[in-house]
Structure 1
Amino acid sequence: MTKTKHFIVLLSVYCCFSFGLQAQEKLPLLDVIQQLENQFDVKFSYSIDDVSNVLVDQPIKSNTLHQIIQNLNATTLLNFKFLNERYITVSTINKTIAICGVLVSEKTKEPLLGASVLIENSTKGVITDIDGAFNLDEVGANETIILSFLGFETQVFKAADLMLLDNTCKTIEMQVKSETLNQVLITKFLTTGLQKRIDGSTILNTEKFGILPGLSEPDIMQSIQALPGVESVNESVANINVRGGTNDQNLILWDDIKMYHSGHFFGLISAYNPYLTNRVTVTKNGTSSEFSDGVSSTINMSTKNKINEGFKGGVGANLIHADAFLEIPLSKKLAVHISGRRSFTDVFSSPTYDTYFERSFQDSELTTNSDNISESNKSSDFFFYDYTAKVLFDLNDNHKIRANIIGINNNLDYTESFTNTDNETDSKTSNLKQQNLGAGVNWNATWHAKFSTEFNAFYSKYNVDAVDYRIETDQKLTQANEVLETGVKLKTDFKINDNLNLLNGYQFSEIGILNETTVSAPSYDKTKKDVLLNHALFSEFEFNKHNTYLRFGVRGNYFQKFNKIIIEPRLNVRQKLNNFFALKLQGEFKNQSATQIIDFQDDFLGVENRRWILANNSSIPISESKQGSFGFEFNQNNFVIDVEAFYKIVDGITASNQGFYNNFQYINATGSYHVKGIEFLMNKSADTYSAWVSYTYSVNDYEFESITPSVFPNNVDVRHSVSLAFNYDIIDNLKVSVGGVYRSGAPYTKPVEGNETIQNGNNTVVNYDLPNNENLDDFIRLDASLKYNFNLSNTANGAISLGVINVMNKKNSINRYYEVHPEDSNSVVQIDNKSLGLTPNLSFRINF
């Protein structure tokens, strides 16, 4: 009897277990609907497309019809609704679900930090964390999710395919793009959106850009100064010094258009709108042979290049300007991207504007004119604006055409009123305009899986025009500096195999530069225009396999006017020793034919004192540079140490393009500068924070054989430069950044003590001592930023940002020179140019 009972119990358990398994069996929804119709004598109304390929659990037989329908509503993305007791409708609804995933490399299976996860046609999205994971709540089940990561193929999923089930997230393997060799090495470098490539260049991705100390919103030329070896000695984005070079030695490209202007507000604000300029590549050495000019660096900006299915845009404003951008798809093959920005400083003066104005115009006629003209008798209006437009046309998947235009404008009106001896009031308005207009076209063609071509053509026009009325002397001074350049480039890219690429190309450019000065009393007119044609051939191969990266190229330049050929080899090597350490070696020869000379107080209202000139191969030679660097990298668990020693020689500089405030201020001399140094960077990043410190030590000396002494410190010889910062995500939507800058004071020349002035003909001039033999006080500045992101809807989000430059209001001297005392010709007056004081800025943005 006992055995019989045990058998019955086991049989019952088996039956129940068997039934439980059957209840969990997945069946086609169509079959389940037919079962329910037969069992309960009901009718379902549905579209076959909605219910096909849907699998559901086998209904539990003991459940009522209402319980079964309730379970189907909970476990499917369909809506089951009773019209009455016999008829049930089945329809699709856009339910909101939670999605998640883990992105890993298909080859290495390592997680991908910083990958972009976006909901199509919206601004909602996240960035993957250190484990490659992401989570998104309240996502429409029918939404399309786009997964992208630089150097990998973009993948697209339906949200339902990524739905969180049983606390399990889908693992997604991302495929490496086969057409790119120069992959990203460090995906989060200093802050989100800064990435380090394997060739040593740095990419700034503005769309993913995080936060940097002092900035209320992304500023391209300010942001790149976070990199070691890149700084501005006089705190101006129009004067960025890369490894001891001058600003005119930086090649600036915007969608392959060469630009001759970089800053609004005469250097304090970047002239490039970051919200369509989505990628900036900065190269300090080992440049690709396809690029010439820029003997110190290459700053290559690229705008968004993809045709989106949906309309996107954004608007924003801060205490200086307002801006807007739009991405407008006209069809699947045609789109237009436009942006615009304008200051409102001519109608409203904010505290930020007042600080900027004081900094920009402290050494100009606006603040240093005659004592006979009181503050009440002078006024100034300043404003700037810029705009961009881009047409994107995809003929097909293999042929893509792009056309671009960019305009940058600064305008200053300065009015003086003067009461003459007859008690009559005279008023004159002076004007300064600074403009850069660029246009370009690009055709990218893929002829074969292994062979593609790219054709570029551009037009760039830069001009500064000034009309300066000297009201006390009844003199009118008109000045103009104009640069006009056109160029074409054709390059071919042949993929020999998965590890080796071959690049070849030809480039032609024609550049003309005009300088004109006209004076009314006494009558004087001087106009000088030079034109130079350049032909170039370039070739390079790029190899990347396992632990070795190698790029070697050569560029040949032919200057038609001088019948001169310049050959420039380029080298870039990186050898990985193990999973953590790598050695890198870089070298390059480069040249440039257009440089800037520095004028002084009586030029362009004393505001813009730089004008472009063209090499003549005699008194103004073509500048040529030779640079080499060697270093190592350590990268483990998002902890990076980067050390690099460099040596650079630049020949063919002139005394006039250095801006000397000493006895060499007005002499004609050609020479060179030699800079050697070492850059150190340490960076630790995680999901919620990033901290870094960088240090640069360099020695930078001039050598002019015709000058005594022939060797002396460079104007930008900053021996020690330190920057450090800490970014922290207080909560998901609230970020804070604090950082500081310390560097040695810039060199300056003081007068001979006890004999400060001497006679030079009929003029008394300052008698300067040894050039650049003194240094200003050390430069110290502390900055901070705070940013809060919020969602307005499923398709729109906003951000409020506060940035404060120079939190401690430190009065840093950035330049010092001397003038003869106006009342005592035997003594001098010391003039110090000061840096920005305490400068807060607040911005508000909406993206949709």
Structure 2
Amino acid sequence: MKPFFTFLCFISVFAFEMYAQEQLPLLQLIKDLEVRYDVKFSYSESDVEAVLVENPKADASLKTIITNLNETTLLNFKFLNDRYITISVIDKTISICGVLISEADGLPLMGASIVVENTQKGIITNADGEFELQAIPVNAAITISYLGYETLQLKAIQLRKQLNNSCETILLTERVEALNSILISKYLTTGLQKRIDGSTVLNTEKFGTLPGLTEPDVLQSIQALPGVESINESIANINVRGGTNDQNLMIWDGIKMYHSGHFFGLISAYNPYLTEKVEVTKNGTSSEFSDGVSSTINMFTKNNIDESVSGGFGANLLHADAFLQIPLSKKLAVHVSGRRSTTDVFSSPTYNKYFEKSFQDSELTTNSENISAAQQSSDFSFYDYSAKLLFNTNDNQKFRANVIGINNNLDYTESFENSEGETESKTSNLKQENLGFGANWNATWSDKFTTELSGFYSQYNVDALNNRAETDQSLTQANEVLETGVKLKGQLAINSNLSFLAGYAFNEIGVLYQTTVSAPSYDRTKKDVLLNHAAFAEVEYNKHNTYLRLGVRGNYFQKFNSFLVEPRINLRQKLSNHFALKLQGEFKNQTAKQRIDFQDDFLGVENRRWTLANEQLIKISKSKQASLGFEYNQNNWLFDVEGFYKIVDGITASNQGFYNNFQYVNANGNYQAQGVELLINKTAAKYSVWASYTYSVNNYEFNSITPSVFPNNVDVRHSTSIAASYQILKNLEASIGGIWRSGQPYTKPVEGNETIKSGNDTVVNYDTPNQENVDDFIRVDASLSSKIKLSNKVNGQLRIGVLNILNRKNTINRYFELNPENTDEALRVDNQSLGLTPNCSFRIIF
């Protein structure tokens, strides 16, 4: 028994010694010491609650324990007398670090934000989920956030970098409601992310540098995506998988927008510094949305109430802007922004290039010989503004209301001498406006059930007064769109992997267009109104290797007594850790579309008018689209291949902008686009390189005209882009990239018989439509971005960008017109792209 008893004593002593070396919370040790030694500690609980210390030996004296605590912690223990001891935080800084890991799959999270509260210090995790910050106050609060995951708040001391350079591993938990989670956190550049449903998310606040851009222009940036481009370099004409611009549904904070670009399409009309997030969906759209048979571009402004005032202001060579986010209380805040052009104050090189591009081939640049350049002048300006009210009635209910206004104004004056030798002048005006109001009420009734009630009002106007000096004729034109919408939806999270969405939407849309001529007197006004009731439902499932969203939408058009059913599917199936197949499909419809007018309309600058389907001459557009592809993602390499087929029925010849024999023909038809998109992307902490290629075939079919099948106006068979961004220094980033694509189709006159008589008029005699192509489009762009720390709370940012640095002359459109000096001849007219166009911007952010 004695050896056994000795062994037990040895084990007990060993266990006690091991226990003595274990760590325990400092708060627990303080309470133990107060009882053991009959002393009192004075401290702030927030200073000591996160601190772990070694359990002292049982026979250690109080003085020895306090000395050891002073040496091993960042706290100062001081004896006031034999019984009272104070504890305070040492005024010093530490280095912190960590590794962010997804709790769901154990993968590192790249692009997460690590922010030191109440300072301007912060960092984004690298490709391995790692971060490190120097000189952080020991008692600082650290916020860790990542889209689709729960936000963490920790004390700096909890992330203290150890002497052996080890860092804390931090697990982030996915939000239960976010089934449609982020798949790729850095897609092409910082701030572009790809969701598991195939949509792309642009986060403007974290946005990196794209070639040629000096700010995160929402509609310019999305053109970096495969299958998204602008054939004529205009934001007002974004083509998604062969569609026209009016086939893109644009939503700003729940408000349907009918206008997208300032400067008649060259820059986005949406202030990127208040637009927090943009979601772009090309296929497999949620059943919540209709319209936009080619794509959905959904823009969101910042939706949280901050603790302090923040904002920024800046300017580039075209405009100046400012935004403010003002918390009025913990539950109430106001966000405001405004932007105005500086083009009427001074003419920068950038403005001159944009003016030349926008107004080429318009009445501003193609006047009669009787009116010289010295006898004409133009004044162009634009502005936009937005405001948002944020009110949290309680923790579970939120109310938001917002307004947005967009305005473009052009005044054009011609001066001439009349028959009596007196000088007369005529001023023409063109104005574009889009005004929108919206509100929504979001309620969380339980951990699993939420509802949202929203409504919007959108008004779009184009008004033109064209006073023609030589003929003393006045032409007035107007186009107005009014739309009101209400939507109620509810979402039920059955569990963390399965949710159900259902809702009802009502829309009323009215479209007016008017033309008035003074001599000879002529007046035409037409207005159409359409009511649409819709019910939608979908189920979303995301577990392990499978993501599936199935939806259906039913639309009832009261005026036509017509009911359309639109099924939707979005499936992504992982076959291995790195390889996944994806399948998407959707039916959609669209009732409002644009009609393309020509030279004598809207001063020859803006030639698009919104019209409404009437099921007679103008049919409801209906699209069917399917796509199948695969993704391979490993070691920050992404290979994405997707084939698609799309047919859009119910298009009219008048809304295609034909320059051929069908220019004024009323005909209904369809277009079919099919092709393959390929993207290769390599990302790392300091750089990103990508290349994309799209091959597509896009043909019209109009049964009532001959030939019935011919290439689409935007049939671009080959399109390639290559770009790279590199972080040269911590606060200096550069990017360069190039675009090459096939030239746009055009129709040439019949050789040897270029003009023919049509009644009393002579017109161009066009050959078979769209059988020729202009030269290939090639452009190289570059940007440089630098961040400047001005103070602890104020940062600056300088960006320089150059579009078309090779100054290549690209023809983006070609058509023919009658030679006024020889009616047997047709003159070729080439519209050119932007030449070498520099720009720079400087911003202050606080």
TM-score (norm 1): 0.93
Task: Judge which range, 492-501 or 729-738, deviates more.
Answer: 492-501
Report the equivalent of 2:602. Answer: 604
- Cα deviation, residue 618, structure 1: 0.7
**How far apart are the structure 1 equivalents of 2:23 and 2:129?**
33
- Conservation of the 8 A alpha-carbon contact between 1:745 and 1:776: yes
**Partner Cα separation in structure 2 for residue 466 and residue 703 of structure 1:** 34
Q: Cα 1:293–1:98, aligned 2, differ >3 Å: closer, same or farther?
A: same
The one of 127, 146, 149 equivalent to 1:149 is 146
Matched, 1:645 2:643: yes
- Give distance in 2, aligned partners of 1:71 and 1:558: 77
Q: Provide structure 1 residue ranges, at least 5 long, that are not aligned to the other structure.
A: 1-13
Counterpart of 2:396 in structure 1: which amino acid? N
* CA distance in 2: counterparts of 1:306 and 1:466, whole angstroms: 41
- What displacement does 1:74 show? 7.4
The equivalent of 1:391 in structure 2 is 389
Displacement of 1:432 after TM fit? 0.9
Equivalent residue number for residue 540 of structure 2 = 542
Partner Cα distance (1:289, 1:26) in 2: 52
Whole-Å separation in 2 of the counterparts to 1:174 and 1:819: 64
Three-state SS of the structure 1 residue aligned to 2:503 is strand
Partner of 1:278, secondary structure, is: strand
Structure 2 vs 1, CA of residues 520 and 51 (structure 1 numbering), >3 Å: closer, same or farther? Answer: closer
Which of 150, 160, 165 does residue 162 from structure 2 map onto? 165
> Is the Cα contact below 8 Å between 1:356 and 1:836 reproduced in 2?
yes
> Which letter does structure 2 place at the counterpart of 1:720?
H
Instruction: Choose which of 184, 193, 196 in structure 1 pairs with 2:194.
Output: 196
CA shift, 1:332, in A, is 1.2
Name the residue aligned to 2:226: 228
Measure, in 1, the Cα distance between the counterparts of 2:637 and 2:24.
49
**Cα displacement (A) at 1:108:** 2.2
CA shift for structure 1 position 651: 0.6
Match of 1:129 among 126, 129, 139: 126
Inter-CA distance 535–57: structure 2 relative to 1 (3 Å threshold): closer
Could you tell me whether the CA contact under 8 Å between 1:50 and 1:92 is conserved in 2?
no
| C-alpha deviation, 1:711, in angstroms | 0.6
Could you tell me whether the CA contact under 8 Å between 2:47 and 2:89 is conserved in 1? no
Distance (Å, rounded) in 2 between the aligned partners of 1:790 and 1:683: 29
Contact 1:32 1:58 in 2 (8 A): no
- What's 1:7 paired with? none
> Which is further off, 135-144 or 468-477?
135-144
Partner SS state of residue 356, structure 1 = helix
Counterpart Cα distance in 2 of 1:692 and 1:597: 37
Distance 1:22 1:695 in 2: 61
Q: For residues 48 and 313 of structure 1, do their structure 2 counterparts lie closer, same or farther at Cα, with a shift above 3 Å needed?
A: closer
**What residue number does 1:657 align with?**
655
C-alpha displacement at 1:793, in angstroms? Answer: 2.0
Q: How many residues align?
A: 829
Whether 1:759 and 2:754 are equivalent positions in the alignment is no
Does the Cα contact within 8 Å between 1:124 and 1:797 map onto a contact in 2?
Answer: no
Equivalent residue number for residue 575 of structure 2? 577
2:694 corresponds to which residue?
A: 696
The amino acid across from 1:288 in the alignment is S
* Partners of 2:30 and 2:41 within 8 A in 1: no
Give 1:278's match in structure 2, choosing from 276, 299, 304. 276
Deviations 1:258-315 (A, max 9, x none): 0001111101001111112111111111111110000001011111111111221111
SS at match of 1:221: helix
For residues 152 and 219 of structure 1, the distance between their equivalents in structure 2, rounded to whole angstroms, comes to 26
Using the alignment, how far apart are the partners of 1:22 and 1:714 within structure 2?
77
Secondary structure, aligned partner of 1:692:
strand
Task: State the shift of 1:472 in Å.
Answer: 1.1
Report the Cα distance in structure 1 between the residues aligned to 2:471 and 2:25, rounded to whole angstroms.
96
SS of the equivalent of 1:448 reads coil
CA contact (8 A) 2:47 2:139 kept: no
Give the structure 1 partner of residue 823 of structure 2.
Answer: 825
1:718 to 716, 725, 750: 716
Cα pair 1:30 1:52 within 8 Å, conserved: no
Q: CA deviation at 1:120?
A: 2.6
Q: Which amino acid in 2 is paired with 1:220?
A: V
Contact 1:701–1:713 (8 Å) recurs in 2: yes
**What is the identity, as a one-letter code, of the residue corresponding to 2:303?**
N
Aligned to 2:6: none
SS of residue in 1 equivalent to 2:470? coil
SS in structure 2 opposite 1:366? coil
Q: Which residue of 2 aligns with 1:308?
A: 306
Give me the whole-angstrom Cα distance separating, in 1, the residues matched to 2:596 and 2:119.
48
Say which SS state the counterpart of residue 355 (structure 1) adopts. Answer: helix
**1:674-753 to 2 correspondences below 5 Å:** 674-753=672-751
**Amino acid paired to 1:333:** K
Residue equivalent to 1:214? 212
- Confirm or deny: 8 A CA contact 2:586 2:626 kept in the other structure: yes
Identity of aligned residues (%): 69
**Counterpart of 2:802 in structure 1: which amino acid?**
V
Q: 1:778 maps to what in 2?
A: 776
Amino acid at match of 1:437: L
| Structure 1 residue 795, shift from structure 2 partner | 1.8
**Residue among 589, 607, 610 paired with 1:591:** 589
CA contact (8 A) 1:319 1:350 kept: yes
Shift of residue 633, structure 1, vs aligned partner = 0.9
CA distance, structure 1, for counterparts of residue 411 and residue 155 of structure 2: 57
Change (3 A) 1:273 1:122: farther
Give structure 2 stretches of 5+ with no counterpart.
1-12
CA contact (8 A) 2:26 2:48 kept: no
In structure 1, what residue type is equivalent to 2:364? Answer: L
Alpha-carbon shift at residue 330 of structure 1 (Å): 1.2
* Contact 2:741 2:777 (C-alpha < 8 Å) held by counterparts: yes
Q: Is the alpha carbon distance of 1:22 and 1:574 closer, same or farther for their aligned partners in structure 2, counting shifts above 3 Å? A: closer
Q: Note the 1:135-534 alignment, pairs <5 A.
A: 135-166=132-163, 167-534=165-532
Q: Which amino acid aligns with 1:679?
A: E
Q: Deviations over 1:9-32 (max 9, x none)?
A: xxxxx9xxx9xx999999779699
AA paired with 1:150?
L
Change (3 A) 1:474 1:725: same
Tell me, in whole angstroms, the C-alpha distance in 2 between the residues paired with 1:586 and 1:481.
Answer: 36
Report what 1:673 is aligned to. Answer: 671
Aligned equivalent of 2:791: 793
One-letter amino acid of the structure 1 residue matched with residue 813 of structure 2: N
Residues 424, 68 of structure 1: alpha-carbon distance in 2 compared, 3 angstrom cutoff: farther
Provide the C-alpha distance between the structure 2 equivalents of 1:297 and 1:515, rounded to a whole number of angstroms. Answer: 26
Q: Distance in 1 between matches of 2:363 and 2:25?
A: 83
Shift of 1:497: 2.2
Note the C-alpha offset of 1:97.
2.4
**Quick check: 2:42–2:84 contact (8 Å CA) kept in 1?**
no
Q: How does 1:556-571 map to 2 (within 5 A)?
A: 556-571=554-569
What is the CA deviation profile of residues 39-89 of structure 1, one whole-angstrom value per residue up to 9, with x for unaligned ones? xxxx999656577656778999xxxx99999997776555689999x9998
Q: Distance in 2 between matches of 1:498 and 1:682?
A: 33
Give the 3 Å change call, closer, same or farther, for CA 716–68 of structure 1 in structure 2: same
CA shift for structure 1 position 160: 2.3
The alpha-carbon distance between structure 1 residues 644 and 47, as it changes in their structure 2 partners (threshold 3 A), is closer
Report Cα offsets for 1:103-138 as digits up to 9, x if no partner: 111132221111111223444311111111111112
The answer on whether the counterparts of 2:488 and 2:503 sit within 8 Å (CA) in structure 1 is yes
For residues 143 and 26 of structure 2, what CA distance do their matches in structure 1 show?
A: 31
Query: Which letter does structure 2 place at the counterpart of 1:163?
Result: R
Change in Cα spacing, 1:67 to 1:825, as seen in structure 2 (3 Å) is farther
The separation in 2 between residues aligned to 1:572 and 1:94, in whole angstroms, is: 55
Aligned-partner Cα distance in 1 for 2:396–2:712: 50
What SS class does the counterpart of residue 786 from structure 2 fall into?
A: strand
Aligned pair in 2 of structure 1 residues 32, 539: CA closer, same or farther (>3 Å)? closer
Amino acid at match of 2:204: T
| Greater Cα shift, 562-571 or 67-76 | 67-76
> Do residues 115 (structure 1) and 112 (structure 2) align?
yes
Deviations 1:306-356 (CA, angstroms, capped at 9, x unpaired): 111122111111111111111111111111111111110011111001000
The CA RMSD measured in Å over matched residues stands at: 3.0
